[in-house]
Amino acid sequence: MDASRPVLVVGSLNMDLVARCERLPREGETLFGTDFFTAFGGKGGNQAVAAARIGAHVTMAGCVGHDQFGTDMVAALTAAGVQTDSVLAVDRPTGTALITVDAAGANTIVVISGANMACDVALVDRALAGAAAPGLLLVQQEIPPETNTHAIRAAKAAGWFIVLNPAPARALPQDLLPLIDIIAPNETEAAALTGRSIGSQADALAAAGDLLQQGAAAVLVTLGRDGALYRDASRALHCPALPVQAVDTTAAGDAYLGALAAALAEGQSLEQGLGFAAAAAGLAVTRLGAQPSLGTRAEVSAFIVRHGRPQPVSVPG
């Protein structure tokens, strides 16, 4: 019998407009690109699809516009296995992201929030009320902060496990951190939240320590090609990334967190989940686009067979 807990993602839904070029343009510079394509994105949508393709029972709560982008977005979520009853169409344009990707896979992103700013507390309450049982709540910061705050408070009160991806970084209410089971920033976000410059594993561990002191139960700092560092009150772990040739790093962090959420929801240990998530992210960076890069359970498993499954190791905290 399937005993997986549900995963609820409250967050953003964007249409990505992606330009590829040899290098990223400098200020005031015009470059000729090598390719252009559109892809479904938004941190919320990406993480929901990543978890659903792994096999989690995922519900997405978010907003799109009464436009073709919005119609196509909902259809794509449904096709990926995401429940979309809590995706509402509103009188704002669907969120859009303008993305430039260079030959090494690095990117710059400009987001136009649009309908994402219509996500409100009523939407959260409906989504939580529709859940069969408490599970794992996954939130980011591309929707109004008051909606995120309400989602975390309401879900925690109802017994949910809370994962916050503080992206993009912004100040958090101090009384919110103690409600978060895992806060998962990248290096840039961890630096913004703690005021530390992060150039090494030791710096990331120190930043994680700062967030623990502020009340978070656990901190997961994703470090790109250097893997990820996890720290809670009793242990510190480093999980390496897989050494693959990246073609596009867009949504790599979302692939990681969606896969981790799916692993934890189905009862894998944290160590197992970190290794599985690292493999899912490794697969994603070998593909173009946000949601098109996110692997199914079978694809990630096959990738692990070819490249191995990273194993977390203890590090001095």
Residues 6+ positions from 39 with CB-CB distance below 8 Å:
15, 16, 18, 288, 289, 290, 291, 292
Distance, in Å, from the CA atom of 21 to the CA atom of 287, rounded to the nearest integer, reads: 16
Catalytically active residues are 254
